[in-house]
Chains A and B, each alone.
Chain A
Amino acid sequence: MYILGISCYYHDSAATLVKDGKIIAAAQEERFNREKHSNVFPISAINYCLSKEGIIINDIDQIVFYERPFLKFHRVLKNLIGSFPRSFSAFMDLVPRYLGERLVLPSKIKNTLDYDGKVLYIPHHISHAASAFFTSGFEKANILTVDGIGEYASMMIGYGEKNRIKGDKILPYPGSVGLLYSAITTYLGFKANGGEGKVMALADFGEPVYLDFLEKIMDLKEDGSFTCFEKYFDFSSGNRMFRNSLEKEIGPSRRPDQKIERHHKDVAASLQAFTEKSVISIINNMIKKNGVKKLAVAGGVFLNCVLNRKILEDTEVEQIHIFPAAGDAGGSSGCALFAYYHLFGGEERYTIKTAALGPKYLKNSIVNLAINRNLIIKELSEEELIKDCAESISLGKICGWFQGNMEFGPRALGNRSILANPAADDIKEKLNRDVKHREWFRPYGVSVLDEKGSEIFEDYVTNSFMIMTDTVKKEKRKSIPGALHVNHSVRYQSVSSDDGKYYRLIKKFYEITNIPMVINTSFNVQEQIVCSPEDAFDTFMNSNIERLYIEDFVVLKQEGDTK
């Protein structure tokens, strides 16, 4: 049975194909139309999903649509069960009826895809929750979904068991982590919906001196809920989401062109601390209630790697599963999975093993393209390729690594990556300045051999989707200056033998350097991550990436380029 999940008209359009309860293809539209955070109808992603299975739209049993929050969901819910906030544990029982009443056929889907079946709408947070729980493999778990970008419906607390999930409680506006994060992002002179990651990175450089103040003005409660009072915030504007009264209390905001001062770092650190405190309180409360110590999470906030580490440290959570496409693109997976279990009675559960769910490209298309563009390209055996790449990295070269299926979600995990040597002192500056053109304070993640993780990190846990940081052991810090963040932490991805070629590459690098990790950043220069060989060649040729390892080939910038 095939279910097609669609996310669009909000942030990050995407499509997911679920076959018998498993995600078999998923991709964001931005990768195809090369428009960052594209929210158009994901026609290319849908075509990719279908072609991966060699099927056509007529073979799809169900199309499911992931709803944008608030506008529709809240309105419907309000009509359904009254005003907010309130518990709605009865919600799930209402779902079949809710769906039954809204079997609409949106003209876009009908016209674009010529699909004449029914389209189901799944609420936003239910979709996030389903993406987290139904890929976790957990028999039972608490579920928490928190939107990352300025959204009104901020979070949902839920619970999953076997093939069922339920949403217990929704914390809507005015207490939204996503909204608060976006507001402070604009206060710090970055753009909302994109700049949040920069604030997160900046936070590590400051002290949370405004934490008490934030708690007070937002009335942070024991259960983690809070209120973004209109006295301090203005959510009608996208550029300046705060009021003068906030500046009066914590000082002037930063203009985009202004230098980053100590004060800005402290505000960022305070925001991060506030977020952690709120989310941790919520989780502690969940565990207190039912004693379940497994946690499945999704929503953009859980792309915050520092927060995720804190959850493991400061709560009783024993195991946390974070859906790799935690943001809104992943909603397309969640709504399809929800439909599979809740509407079609699917029973067998699975654990997501890889985020490599996007397109891959055949050798021929790479050769043709390279030759037609007069690039210097050499075919190597896997052994030669790995050796060549590992040696290049060890010599401080910055290497493009394009292998197999593109990743789903915002992280490059060794399929569309730029790799570099963490032992090199100047590598971070080189990457920031010459390749990625990013702010000086933004750190890089690493890919570490899973079996070596505990030798490097203080509290190592396997983390395949790069959604967590950890502190590097004191004696190891000197060996990886290029990857070390200011607080001695590193965002990392665990790479095991299941990861094939990428694992063997890092292993080779380890043999050469005695360092079991490489710096791994997404294969892009400010634009969206590359998808096709064409994109990869474009980015490679127009950047200071020194070598490109694409499938079985090494591409050089000039003939006779030696290590």
Chain B
Amino acid sequence: MLCKRCVMPESKPDIYLNEQGLCNICSAFESQNNNRKDDTVFHETELVKILNKHRGKHKYDCLVMISGGKDSTSSLYYIVKKYKLNPLAMTFDHGFENEEAIYNIKNAVDSLKVDWIFFKTDFMKEMFAEIIRTKSKAVICHLCSIWYMQFTYETARRYDIPIIIAGWTKGQSNIPDIISKGKCDIDAPEYQSMAKATKKFLKEHVRKMPKYKDFPMSMEEVIKRAAKKHKATVLSPHWFLKTPVEEYTRLIQEELGWRFPKESYPEKSTNCLLNFLSVLLSLKHYGYTHYHVEMSKMINLNMMTRDEALDLLEKNWDDKMIDDVLTRLGLSRKDIEDG
């Protein structure tokens, strides 16, 4: 059973529908909406204030995490062209990055003339394989984000950079939380079971792997550790801009020669190859993915319609992609099958 308004399937205990057929994400929005007016809107002038506070005081004004997708590429574009800051761009590749994404990044950093760090490692590979081997329900993307956020903070400290810029949309993370606490909202009700499984996996398996003895046990730990050593504000320009996705996509296509990847999930996004496996497993374990949650929020923010979201979330990629990824992890299809 799907929520009447958004794309969330009923998936107890985290996602449940009320009598009107609305899921808990939608009904939370509804009650919130009644007392939301202009004073709680995040104005672009607020963003500019934060940026100006740090402008010109360090070698780099900000560290931009760029994945080659439309959201992060446009963030980099705005940072350079509109806000006229001097950023350091940074990309992580855990070995599964998509060639087309890297092409987009190269193009962007070249035409915007910004310094760029490209960090490629196989460090995470064994952890990913371990999830499958142990039949854990931990979400690959959660582990990955813990790892790359830690790395981002370390890089910001290494270069003494005061602001970290991400390309998150309004549906991806909760604004006040990020600004005040610098964290993703994996604590939100809709992520409870996923977060629990990830935590359990970290505790029971990752801890025991000598290679990962220093690996943070949660996003909170990442932030706590980082805060001790260096202060950095994390934000996304998209939280403050009213520009619709079609418009900034067109902008980077025209200005930076940006291109959509041939195959992606959700459609019209740009993600790594591992993402296909993460999605497949999420759907299997929970019936939904973090993309469903993101789009549910965007529907509630009137940034897209339900039909559009359902279209984008339709699973129509080639299963060969999954086989490729599994092979590279030293696994095969039977490792992800039940029994």
Contact = CB atoms under 8 A, between A and B. Distances in A.
B82 A56 contact: yes
B37 interface: yes
B280 interface: no
Interface stretch (A189-197, A341-349, A366-374, A450-458): A366-374
Given A32-B38, A34-B38, A365 B302 contact: yes
B44 interface: yes
B305 interface: yes
A371 B302 CA distance: 9
A51 B38 contact: no
Contacts of B39: 33
A372 B305 contact: yes
Given A33-B37, A56-B83, A364-B246, A47 B306 contact: no
Nearest to A33: B38
B52 A58 contact: yes
B45 A47 contact: yes
B49 A365 contact: no
Contacts of B49: 113-114
Contacts of B37: 33-34
B44 A51 contact: yes
A44 B240 CA distance: 12
A452 to B, nearest CB: 39
A113 B242 CA distance: 18
Interface residues of B, number: 28
B38 A44 contact: yes
A534 B242 CA distance: 15
Contacts of A55: 82
Interface in B20-49: 37-39, 41, 43-45, 48-49
Contacts of A211: none
A166 B241 CA distance: 41
Interface string B231-265: 00000000001101011000000000000000000
Contacts of A32: 38
B206 to A, nearest CB: 41
A58 B306 contact: no
B290 to A, nearest CB: 21
B82 A368 contact: no
A368 B302 CA distance: 5
A263 B267 CA distance: 71
A369 B33 CA distance: 14
A32 B40 CA distance: 12
Given A44-B38, A58-B84, A365-B244, A50 B305 contact: no
Given A57-B48, A372-B299, A47 B305 contact: no
A27 interface: no
B84 A43 contact: no
A115 to B, nearest CB: 9
A500 interface: no
B5 interface: yes
A114 B5 contact: no
A112 B300 CA distance: 29
Given A32-B38, A372-B306, A43 B43 contact: yes
A71 interface: no
Interface string A429-460: 00000000000000000000000000000000
B307 A371 contact: yes
A375 to B, nearest CB: 12
Interface string A48-67: 00110011111000000000
B45 A43 contact: yes
B45 A114 contact: yes
Contacts of A368: 299, 302-305
Given A365-B302, A368-B305, A369-B302, A56 B48 contact: yes
B325 to A, nearest CB: 34
A369 B242 CA distance: 15
B52 A44 contact: no
Contacts of B246: 364
A477 to B, nearest CB: 45
Nearest to B6: A372
Contacts of A369: 302
B48 A58 contact: yes
A132 B29 CA distance: 46
B244 A364 contact: yes
Contacts of A46: 45
Nearest to A366: B302
Nearest to A48: B242
Contacts of A371: 305-307
Contacts of B44: 47, 50-51, 56
Contacts of A372: 5, 299-300, 302, 305-306
13 contacts: A33-B37, A33-B39, A34-B38, A43-B43, A47-B43, A58-B48, A112-B45, A113-B49, A114-B45, A364-B246, A368-B303, A368-B304, A369-B302
Given A32-B38, A114-B48, A372-B306, 9 more contacts: A34-B37, A47-B44, A56-B83, A57-B48, A58-B84, A112-B45, A371-B305, A372-B300, A372-B302
Interface of A: 32-34, 43-44, 46-47, 50-51, 54-58, 112-114, 362, 364-365, 367-369, 371-372, 534
The 3 closest A-B pairs by CB, nearest first: A114-B49, A368-B302, A371-B305
